[in-house]
Amino acid sequence: MLQCRHMRVPVRQSEVLAQSKKVADHHLTRGTMERMRLEILRLTKERPALSAEMQRTAEEGDFSENAGYQAAKAALRRVNSRITFLDEQLRFAIPIDQDTDDGKVHVGSTVILESSGKTLELEILGSQESSPGKGRISHLSPLGQALIGHSVGEAIEFETPSGRVTYKLINIQ
């Protein structure tokens, strides 16, 4: 149970189960880590008002039929759950060092690939920050795994649902 001043907020088993099913990938850019810290600060500042709202609505009577109380309690639970989640992410975070320059692809590298005369620029990040449509792929994705450890000039082959694909590694930044 989470303690919040004078009340106890239960940790729902469904929340614990949902978190446990996620792949444990703790690679985060320093920018994302800073955004998480700022979100924790913002949410922490919201908590007293939510707690006060919950106490105010609790004074209105029967908890089971008090929609205002139930809504305030749910809002406080969401904020506490998000703070706990962000704290856990930061506690286990592995900062991505984007300045590694040993000539090989690492988590944090930006690569330029070529296949069939077309070029593709991708940033290799942790799974939490991946966004394939924006050119940010996870190091755990099939292509991300195939790229890690390779050098400029090497051919990278990997399997896709539509067949085998080969890329030539043109540049690493």
Number of domains the chain contains: 2
> Does 30 map to a domain?
yes
Domain containing 120 — which CATH number? 3.10.50.30
**Is the domain of 9 the same as that of 91?**
yes
What confidence tens digit (pLDDT) does each residue in 31-66 have? 999 999 999 999 999 999 999 999 998 888 777 778
pLDDT at 58: 87
Rounded (10°) angle between helices 30-58 and 67-92: 160
Write out residues in the chain with pLDDT < 70, as ranges.
Answer: 1-23, 98
Contact 155, 167 (CB under 8 A): yes
> Which of the listed residues 95, 129, 147 is the one where a domain comes to its end?
95
**Is the domain of 87 the same as that of 136?**
no
Domain extent for 55: 2-95
**Is the domain of 91 the same as that of 7?**
yes
> Does 12 map to a domain?
yes
- The b-or-e profile of 100-129 (16+ CB within 10 A means b, else e) is eeeebbbbbbbbbbeeeeeeeebbbbbbbb
In the chain, the DSSP E strands lie at 2-4, 7-9, 27-28, 94-95, 110-115, 118-125, 136-138, 155-160, 163-172
**Is the domain of 147 the same as that of 65?**
no
> Which of the listed residues 27, 60, 95 is the one where a domain comes to its end?
95
Q: In this structure, what token pair is assigned to residue 134?
A: 């924006």
pLDDT at 2: 47
Q: Which residue has the tokens 């919950």?
A: 54
Rg of the chain, C-alpha, whole Å: 22
Domain containing 52 — which CATH number? 1.10.287.180
**Is the domain of 6 the same as that of 86?**
yes
The DSSP code for 129 is: G
Q: How many CA atoms are closer than 13 Å to the CA of 61, on its beta-carbon side?
A: 4
**Is the domain of 118 the same as that of 81?**
no
pLDDT at 15: 63
**Is the domain of 57 the same as that of 114?**
no
Which residues, 6+ apart, have CB-to-CB distance to 34 below 8 Å? none
> Does 24 map to a domain?
yes
pLDDT at 59: 86
**Is the domain of 6 the same as that of 89?**
yes
